[in-house]
Amino acid sequence: MEYKRYHNIIALRLDKGDDIMGSVYAVAEKEGVKAASVSGIGATNNFTVGVFEMAKKEYEKYDYSGNHEINALTGNITEKDKKPYIHLHITATGKGGKVVGGHLIKGVISLTGEIIITVIDGKILREFNDELGINRWQL
């Protein structure tokens, strides 16, 4: 992993074997990011996504392996309990052109990852909402 900050933009390069969520978290923590937009592309061969089941208030998880191109990695960084809170979604294309995606739970880079973090001048907090079963923005 390597990154460089340009005012409110952070360019983050992930390398083979890098954990996507952990790397974004590490940069957000080191740079003191309290609110940001995240976008990226790259390749992965090991990732897990979730689709939120509203009735159960939990994610149904799907694991994927094998070569996948990351078409879109998108999400945000906010703050919960005074720590960075990373919320990402991923869409990726695998063998035969099959496209899969969802809420990114874990993912490992297989070739490279190119991620742009656009820092917002301010803070967005998250708080758990019992009714919804999610950590929701508090504006």
Break the chain into its structural domains and give their ranges: 2-138
The CATH number fitting domain 2-138, selected from 3.40.605.10, 3.30.1330.80, 3.50.50.60, 3.40.50.150:
3.30.1330.80
Angle at 103 between CA 88 and CA 46, to 5 degrees: 90
The token duo for 80 is 């919960």
Kindly report, residue by residue over 99-119, the tens digit of the pLDDT: 999 999 999 999 999 999 999
This prediction has a pTM of 0.96
What pLDDT is attached to residue 117? 99
3-state SS string over the chain?
Answer: CEEEEECCEEEEEEECCCEHHHHHHHHHHHHCCCCEEEEEEEEEEEEEEEEEECCCCEEEEEEEEEEEEEEEEEEEEEEECCEEEEEEEEEEECHHHCEEEEEEEEEEEEEEEEEEEEECCCCCEEEEECCCCEEEEEC
What pLDDT is attached to residue 120? 98
What pLDDT is attached to residue 15? 98
What pLDDT is attached to residue 44? 98
Side-chain-side CA neighbours of 20 within 13 Å: the count stands at 37
Cα–Cα dist 75/40, whole Å: 9
Ranges in the chain, pLDDT < 70: none
What pLDDT is attached to residue 53? 96
